[in-house]
Chains A and B, each alone.
Chain A
Amino acid sequence: MADVLVATNVTKQFGGLTAVDNVDFSVPEKGIVSLIGPNGAGKTTFFNCMTGLYKPTTGTVMFNGRDITGKPPHVVTESGIARTFQNIKLFKTMTVLENVQVGRHCRLRSRISGMVFHSPFTKKEEKETEGRARELLALVGIERRRFQDLGSSLPYGDQRRLEIARALASDPKLLLLDEPTAGMNPQESEELTGLMQKLRTELGISVLLIEHDMKVVMGVSDHITVLESGAKIAAGQPQEVRANPRVVEAYLGSQA
């Protein structure tokens, strides 16, 4: 299978600190791959380099054969990468539905004149946007009666799901999930695993996952990459990674 995302030699330095150190990484089409590592390993920094929030110090990021290295976030999103955030970043004072509608922003083409005069095109587009938002909310499993509530009033697990729906609204080819099960109970985590598989089979979306819950990671991933102190220390199938002594050491510490 072809790779949708290929990151080559990505390094990110903050002053003297090397947060991500020369990492090669790729996500195959319709793949679910995970990035794991102890706290502070540079996982989220790596994510931010992929999505344009940070510009990598060196290295390149190719997406669908297009160089997106250091492109601003909205360009990256438009090219087909969407993400969620580790610390939920919903638009707190917008309704659930509006949150998802914002996610669709980069696919909308209405002009100012159309917005002001409600041109047929704008009307149609707005209607489609709302319809799509409702579909996506149903897909991630948020109850219809919560659609007009404020996003921030949802229970924690639903807020994470809402973030996923918002990300999906931009019609991504690749979805980056930053610790999506944090704060979820085991049952919710399991539902989320199911959702990820559904996204792959039904929408053909690849998923890149940062996760601490090993049950989720081992259960859903085709491929796992392990970071420690910014460097890639292992990569492979879940069973291989699980058995890798360096990974065990990184997580549990070496036996002195």
Chain B
Amino acid sequence: MSAVRNAFGKLADLDFRILIAVFVAVMVIFGIIGENTTNSDFYAAVITTIAYVMMGLGLNIVVGFAGLLDLGYVAFFAIGAFVMGWLGSAHFGDANFKFLASDLTPDAGIHINFFLILVIAAAFTALWGAVLGFPTLRLRGDYLAIVTLAFGEIVPRVFELSTSGFFGIGNTDFSNGRQGITPVDKPYLPIPGLDNITRIDLKPFFFIAFAMLLVTLFLNFRLRDSRLGRAWIAVREDEVAAAAMGVNLVRVKLWAYAIGAALGGFAGAFLATFNNTVNVDQFEFGFSVFVLCMVVIGGMGNIGGVVLGAIALAMFDRYGLKQLDTLPSKVGLDFDFSSVKFGLFGFFLLAMMILRPEGFIPNRRRKLELHEGEHEGGVASDEDLYSVRG
């Protein structure tokens, strides 16, 4: 056990430039040869996993950095995916609008270039992140969790029910109800390799996702080391002291919500295209918990840890489970591991919390908190003696 801990510790100490270089190299090589050398299930699972990693990183900004427990992250997946569905499919059949889109798209509907929609989706979701974050600014801990949980439930239901106008205004169909929006336009750029993408060749999807992941990682690292990143951690540590040091709590929290949400929408928009459907059934509460687990298991607040946690959980969900499912029938049992998926997740989460509560690669900060009693000279945490007005 301690050997494992040491190994993880050393991993965390490695110069992160080397780590990033190795990571990029491995991913690029896998991207090129993976589709032919592994089965396509595995390759597709990796692409989905990359999108999930982005979501994990987005939630990490809200939960890991700013310390705002968000249980409704799936709302941003939904918003991002719907933006992709609205602006890049034949869903709005009355409109005939194309902008930098492939000639292969049908005439009906709105067809804006995939890459442009990614940006629009991120911006639109960021806006909603701030809007949904605003009412929760005064809340902390459990109360915040409950309210965000409610938002995570409300948003997909609003989409589902907006089949005839939005809140009764107008009669446009925004979601096609439970059938969802499908098909969704493929990514398109007028260069060889990206000018005629089909769902059969997954390589372009892999590299698009990977490029998006690199953008996400870059954003995370830069923000972590900025004045905003410091302010987030200060707010997480002690709101009163942060405010007294001149940190505008409202602004700093809203930025956390907005940027975290933007990354969720960014990844969500990609998934809409990759899955070729925007369906409200995808936007379940379980998904919010799933993303939160990635953050917690990986090491809250540690970017590398979150990446690792997200890879582990997402690959297990997308690929490992299917492999497990073949086992019982081999020994003559009629049993399906997928049906107890959340039971398995629960078990792993519990095991993690007992064996290694700080996550795979702990944030130095978080580790300190969890092992506070074990250190000498740890200052007893003082209660919140003041309430800060936003």
Contacts and interface: CB of A to CB of B under 8 A. Distances in A.
State yes or no: do A and B come from one complex: yes
A91 B237 contact: yes
A91 B233 contact: yes
A170 B245 contact: yes
B385 interface: yes
Contact of A93 (B223, B231, B366): B366
Interface in A116-141: 116-118, 122, 125-126, 129
B157 interface: no
A118 B229 CA distance: 14
Interface string A95-128: 0001001111111101010011110001001100
Nearest to A125: B227
A102 B247 contact: yes
Contacts of A125: 227
B243 interface: yes
Interface stretch (B51-59, B71-79, B333-341, B374-382): B374-382
B341 to A, nearest CB: 34
A152 interface: yes
B87 interface: no
B226 A152 contact: no
Contacts of B388: 53, 72-73
A158 to B, nearest CB: 11
Which of A73, A107, A125 has the most chain B CB atoms inside 10 A of its CB? A73
Nearest to A176: B244
Contacts of A88: 379
A177 to B, nearest CB: 13
Interface in A143-197: 150, 152-153, 155, 159, 166-167, 169-170
A105 B245 contact: yes
A125 to B, nearest CB: 8
Contacts of A167: 245
Nearest to A72: B389
A167 B244 CA distance: 9
A116 B223 contact: yes
Interface size class of A (residues with CB under 8 A): 35 or more
B226 A115 contact: yes
Which of A116, A117, A125, A167 has the most chain B CB atoms inside 10 A of its CB? A116
Contacts of B145: none
A157 B216 CA distance: 42
A26 to B, nearest CB: 22
B210 interface: no
Contacts of A74: 243, 246-249
A105 B247 contact: yes
Contacts of A222: none
B245 A115 contact: no
B377 A153 contact: yes
Contact of B230 (A51, A94, A117, A155): A94
B389 A55 contact: yes
A111 B241 CA distance: 23
A77 interface: yes
Please report whether the interface of chain B is mostly helix, strand, loop or mixed according to DSSP: helix
A216 to B, nearest CB: 23
A254 B246 CA distance: 44
Interface in A9-24: none
A198 interface: no
A48 interface: yes
B322 interface: no
Interface string B364-384: 111011000000011101100
A92 interface: yes
A117 B222 CA distance: 8
A25 interface: no
A74 B235 CA distance: 12
A223 interface: no
Interface in B59-96: none
B238 A87 contact: no
B219 interface: yes
A93 B241 contact: no
B27 interface: no
Contact of A94 (B233, B246, B255, B378): B233
A150 B318 CA distance: 40
B187 to A, nearest CB: 24
B228 A115 contact: yes
B366 to A, nearest CB: 7
Contacts of B234: 91, 94, 102, 105
Given A112-B228, A116-B222, A51 B244 contact: yes
Contacts of B349: none
B23 interface: no
A105 B222 contact: no
Contacts of A169: 245
Nearest to A54: B386
Given A77-B244, A102-B234, A87 B382 contact: yes
Interface of B: 218-219, 222-223, 226-231, 233-234, 237-238, 240-249, 255, 364-366, 368-369, 377-379, 381-382, 385-386, 388-390
Given A93-B237, A94-B230, 16 more contacts: A53-B243, A72-B388, A74-B249, A77-B246, A101-B227, A102-B245, A106-B246, A106-B247, A108-B227, A110-B226, A110-B227, A112-B255, A115-B228, A126-B227, A152-B368, A152-B378
19 contacts: A48-B386, A72-B389, A74-B246, A74-B247, A77-B243, A88-B379, A89-B241, A89-B244, A89-B382, A90-B241, A91-B242, A92-B368, A102-B247, A105-B234, A106-B248, A112-B223, A112-B255, A126-B227, A129-B227
Interface of A: 48, 51-55, 72-74, 77-78, 82-83, 85, 87-94, 98, 101-108, 110, 112, 115-118, 122, 125-126, 129, 150, 152-153, 155, 159, 166-167, 169-170
